[in-house]
Amino acid sequence: MNQAHYTSLINDETIAVWRQKLSEHNNANTINGVVQILSSAACWNGSFLEKKIDEHFKTSPKIPGIDLNSTRVLFEKLMNSQHSMILEQILNSFESCLIPQLSSSPPDVEAMRIYLILPEFPLLQDSKYYITLTIPLAMAILRLDTNPSKVLDNWWSQVCPKYFMKLINLYKGAVLYLLRGRKTFLIPVLFNNYITAALKLLEKLYKVNLKVKHVEYDAFYIPEISSLVDIQEDYLMWFLHQAGMKARSSIIQDAVTLCSYPFIFDAQAKTKMLQTDAELQMQVAVNGANLQNVFMLLTLEPLLARSPFLVLHVRRNNLVGDALRELSIHSDIDLKKPLKVIFDGEEAVDAGGVTKEFFLLLLKELLNPIYGMFTYYQESHLLWFSDTCFVEHNWFHLIGITCGLAIYNSTVVDLHFPLALYKKLLNVKPGLEDLKELSPTEGRSLQELLDYPGEDVEETFCLNFTICRESYGVIEQKKLIPGGDKVTVCKDNRQEFVDAYVNYVFHISVHEWYTAFSSGFLKVCGGKVLELFQPSELRAMMVGNSNYNWEELEETAIYKGDYSATHPTVKLFWETFHEFPLEKKKKFLLFLTGSDRIPIYGMASLQIVIQSTASGEEYLPVAHTCYNLLDLPKYSSKEILSARLTQALDNYEGFSLA
């Protein structure tokens, strides 16, 4: 039977015909005819056009013109056992012909549809076919020339988040499969080629997602990596490679470093990298080692001549002055050590609570509005550096060091800075979206200026290249460009005006204060390791995130005194808490822990403590913020407990500029 007996389109009807023909004429000619159709990318490309599209004329580099839902439905039907012969032919065709023969330079845009169709084939999700289907498809995509590669990126930008997430999970699964089975590969170069293809495909998807935000950045995390890979060794290999050093071992030299793809690492893995980086820098400094010896160096026990901790002695009544003094006498390397704080005249052992209290009290003092170091934006509840203030630069330097220490010591601090700060720390330029976050009204006004459709921009907005700023009750006009007060904003220069406006807010007006802050922060958290973070991840490391899991908070809670998980008062407490709206739950977190966000490691790492007290039920619950400890009287009813807890939350003021 020749190919003329078949339609060029692949659909339910043709599948039924093929199944019938194969069952009636199971001979070489019949099979070859089906294989020829199934091996033809053109047949697949022409088979799932959107019904509203007339043939292929609507297809463009921006629009694939394909109905992926029809593709999905057809493949799901083929998985039925009655179509097993057809499925086998499709599998063979994809493995031996179609995927290996995909061109790096497709003849036209329509020929690109195959790259959207193939991931819908269910067997690509089966680990048995990762090596013969999934990885070869990744390699074919990565071979694409520049222009068709951009077309595919554009199409991925248009697909629904569910399809995009399926692609991510497909290649995350391939990475895990390869890592778990790496010892079974007799030829190491094959493993390296395969895992590099999977990782580079994920990287391509990640770059698309940065622009269109189909999914959250943590959708790319592969948490299992921490248990499958020696994170410390991988980071060291990456560090050496970045430093231009060549490892002596040819195996190490040729190995794939996962740190080259930092978007796959979760908080646990990146914390390990921070620790490795700190240990590396301490060891190199203390032992006078050079980079060529770091592998040998880090296999030895640390030979630190001084204390393994950064110990600060401070007085409560002179916290800022003492912190400045103590931190100034320590070297940059000392700042990488675990922090221990001793309050003068107190004997408490710092098991974490004293350090947390130190951060809370120090930031409370530094953020005091009387110093004018930061401006509080009422609309967004965020802080930004003041245009004008009169404190010494070393105060900003101290805040920078404090933020760095908080990250290194896994302590969440209640600092409400916009994402723009973390972008600047990572050399990413803030834009209009960042101004919208910090000052929504200003941001929206500038967006309206850019979007205004009329020609009369000059008459409608009446703007020139200046910005008005209030300083201690006085409104001052600042020039955005030389002679800006004489340059009118019009249709042709409005983008230049917006750029200059944003640049003034985030750069020019705060340059000296930010420079002092960043030098302090980078003294603790600088180096190659910082390159592994995205701005949002760096923010989450410092101030936590909002990935709340309230059930997990209850499951990991610890009880003291007469309390246990089954005690009547405890049961009343959790019933009441879970009925709270989100904002009230966040207020409870702020009341108990000093921050309404949770550590990047998750809710379980918060681990609150609830203890019984001898106080009567007329008393309010009391929070010991430094230890996440709640003193909870034994209330006799849910109504009383709810009223007392609500009263305690409403009376809590915190310590930020809010």
Given 43, 403, 525, 626, the catalytic residue: 626
619/290 Cα distance (integer angstroms)? 62
For residue 23, give the H/E element and its range: helix 12-24
Q: In the prediction, which pLDDT does 241 show?
A: 81
Residue with more model confidence, 271 or 433: 433
Q: How much is the CA Rg of the chain, to the nearest whole Å?
A: 30
For residue 632, give the H/E element and its range: strand 629-632
446: exposed, middle or buried (Cβ count in 10 Å: 0-12, 13-18, 19+): buried
- Would you put residue 374 in left (φ > 0), alpha (ψ -120 to 50) or beta? beta
Give the 3-state secondary structure of residue 102.
Answer: coil
Q: In the prediction, which pLDDT does 434 show?
A: 97
The residue-averaged pLDDT of 425-440 equals 95
655/306 Cα distance (integer angstroms)? 36
Give the relative orientation of helices 494-506 and 440-451 as an angle to the nearest 10 degrees: 160
DSSP secondary structure string for all residues of 492-551: TTHHHHHHHHHHHHHTGGGHHHHHHHHHHHHHHH-SGGGGG--HHHHHHHHH-B----HH
First to last CA, the chain: 79
User: Could you give the count of Cα atoms lying within 13 Å of 461 in the half-sphere of its Cβ?
Assistant: 24
- Residue 80: how many other CB atoms lie within 10 Å: 10
Beta strand ranges found along 333-410 (DSSP E): 339-343, 374-377, 382-385
Instruction: State the residue for tokens 């700042």.
Output: 335
Task: Tell me the per-residue pLDDT of 14-39, one tens digit each, with 9 for 90 and over.
Answer: 555 555 554 555 555 545 555 566 66
346/357 Cα distance (integer angstroms)? 13
Q: Among residues of the chain, what percentage have pLDDT more than 70?
A: 83
494/455 Cα distance (integer angstroms)? 12
Contact 502/510 with Cβ under 8 angstroms? Answer: no
Residue 345: partners with Cβ closer than 8 Å, 6 or more residues away: 315
41/50 Cα distance (integer angstroms)? 18
Token pair for 167:
């692609």
Residue with more model confidence, 27 or 617: 617
551/577 Cα distance (integer angstroms)? 10
Contact 187/125 with Cβ under 8 angstroms? Answer: no
Q: In the prediction, which pLDDT does 440 show?
A: 96
Token pair for 402:
């404090």
Q: In the prediction, which pLDDT does 443 show?
A: 96
Contact 82/19 with Cβ under 8 angstroms? Answer: yes
Task: Tell me the per-residue pLDDT of 269-279, one tens digit each, with 9 for 90 and over.
Answer: 887 888 788 77
Q: Among residues of the chain, what percentage have pLDDT more than 90?
A: 42
- Residue 43 annotated as catalytic: no
Domains in the chain with CATH codes: 12-216 (no CATH), 432-543 (3.30.2160.10), 550-651 (3.30.2410.10)
The residue-averaged pLDDT of 538-556 equals 88
Highest mean pLDDT among 171-180, 351-360, 463-472: 171-180
577/575 Cα distance (integer angstroms)? 6
User: Could you give the count of Cα atoms lying within 13 Å of 407 in the half-sphere of its Cβ?
Assistant: 33
